[in-house]
């Protein structure tokens, strides 16, 4: 059952990803990307990483994609007026991405010997365990990332402001 779920979610993620880069309308691309994100959240749940699944849905589907959609609406881009690249460039892009995929597939060699470590800790994906690790071992990166978010907010406001007087 879970195995079937894994392949189903993989199929959904890959086909939605394919639709993201082939859809003519940017709004459709955003909606397909949201489907892909939900499939990846399902993968997190299958990996016993509940905290990541929830944060993934809240941050990506809830915040980032809404930001994308609002920018598309703001710029009135919901029509397919994108000029296509020439066929030679398209062929070159497909060949380059395919070669990259072949290169990545080379890393598969030898991984069949990797199995889940024993003893397996099924608590690591829970909020309690992750919170303890985050606030003990990774406290400084956590605070720095708070500063990063603050500077991103200020940077975004400064960038889109018309006249900085």
Partner 1 sequence: MENISAQITQVAPLEHYILLSAVLFSLGVLGVLLRRNVIIMFMSIELMLNACNLLLAAFSAFHSSAAGQIFVFFIMIVAAAEVAVGLAIIVMIYRNIHSIDINELSKLKW
Tokens of 28: 């459709």
Per CB under 8 A, 3 contacts partner 1: yes
Tokens, residue 50: 């509940």
Task: Give 112 or 165: the residue with its C-beta nearer to partner 1.
Answer: 112
From candidates 88, 115, 140, 164, binder to partner 1 by CB under 8 A = 115
Residue from the set 47, 79, 139, 143 that interacts with partner 1 by CB under 8 A? 47
Helices 26-46 and 2-22, interaxial angle, to 10°? Answer: 160
Q: Which of 8, 63, 73, 79 touches partner 1 (CB under 8 A)?
A: 63
- The CA distance from 115 to 136, in Å, is 29
**C-beta separation of 41 from 29 below 8 A:** no
User: Which one of 8, 73, 100, 143 is in contact with partner 1 (CB under 8 A)?
Assistant: 100
Tokens 């990846």 locate to 40
Q: Which of 86, 87, 104, 140 binds partner 1 (CB under 8 A)?
A: 104
Check binding of 42 to partner 1 (CB under 8 A).
no
User: What tokens appear for 54 in the block?
Assistant: 């929830």
Selected binder of partner 1 within 8, 73, 97, 139 (CB under 8 A): 97
Shortest Å, Cβ 21 to partner 1: 4
3-state SS, residue 3: helix
Under the criterion CB under 8 A, does residue 130 sit at the interface with partner 1? yes
Closer CB to partner 1, 74 or 165, in the complex:
74
- Decide if 146 contacts 138 (C-beta within 8 A): no
Question: C-alpha distances in angstroms, 19 versus 15, 39, 50?
Answer: 6, 14, 27
Q: What residues between 12 and 41 interact with partner 1 by CB under 8 A?
A: 13-14, 17-18, 20-21, 26, 29-30, 33, 36-37, 40
């Amino acid at each position: 059952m879970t195995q079937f779920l894994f392949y189903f979610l993989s199929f959904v993620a890959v086909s939605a990803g394919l639709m993201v880069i082939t859809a003519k309308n940017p709004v459709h691309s955003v909606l397909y990307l949201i489907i892909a994100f939900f499939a990846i959240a399902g993968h997190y749940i299958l990996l016993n990483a509940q905290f990541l699944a929830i944060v993934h849905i809240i941050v990506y589907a809830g915040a980032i994609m809404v930001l994308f959609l609002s920018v598309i609406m703001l710029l009135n881009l919901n029509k397919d007026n994108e000029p296509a690249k020439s066929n030679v460039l398209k062929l070159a892009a497909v060949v380059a991405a395919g070669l990259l995929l072949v290169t990545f597939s080379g890393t598969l060699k030898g991984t069949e010997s990797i199995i889940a470590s024993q003893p397996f800790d099924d608590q690591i994906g829970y909020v309690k365990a992750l919170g303890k690790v985050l606030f003990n071992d990774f406290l400084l990166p956590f605070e720095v990332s708070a500063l990063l978010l603050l500077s991103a907010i200020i940077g975004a406001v400064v960038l889109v402001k018309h006249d900085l007087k």
